Amino acid sequence: DAKTTQPPSMDCAEGRAANLPCNHSTISGNEYVYWYRQIHSQGPQYIIHGLKNNETNEMASLIITEDRKSSTLILPHATLRDTAVYYCIVREFSGSARQLTFGSGTQLTVLP
């Protein structure tokens, strides 16, 4: 699986959009971009995933650049409960059940 690079920490004001960047410059054509988050002392929670098109669900939006070398997770109206470590993961679509390879993630702190 391709490696990802994320900033170690970010702050965001409550009610504002949180934009979390991820670099995956070595991504290959059959690899998806996944985002998970982990609130302190809980298990990771799935947020969203995509291949090349932008995706949106009830939690967030995922914007993937045209060359697929980077992506941005957008939380449109951050709340204090969104404070968590956010992991960007690149995962191969191969027909085999691949495990997730987590990096160190970005600690997002939403400030009141």
Binding site for another protein (CB under 8 A): 32, 41-46, 49, 85, 87, 91-105
- Shorter beta-carbon distance to another protein: residue 52 or 91: 91
Tokens of residue 20, six digits:
């979390």
- Shorter beta-carbon distance to another protein: residue 41 or 53: 41
> How far is 12 from 61, CA to CA, in rounded Å?
16
For the chain, give the longest Cα–Cα distance. 44
Residue 5: CB minimum distance to another protein, A: 13
Residue 107: CB minimum distance to another protein, A: 10
CA atoms within 13 A on the CB side of 96: 6
Residue 17: CB minimum distance to another protein, A: 24
Element (H, E) at 74: strand 70-75
> How far is 84 from 109, CA to CA, in rounded Å?
7
- Shorter beta-carbon distance to another protein: residue 75 or 89: 89
- Shorter beta-carbon distance to another protein: residue 24 or 105: 105
Tokens of residue 78, six digits:
């951050």
Residue 100: CB minimum distance to another protein, A: 6
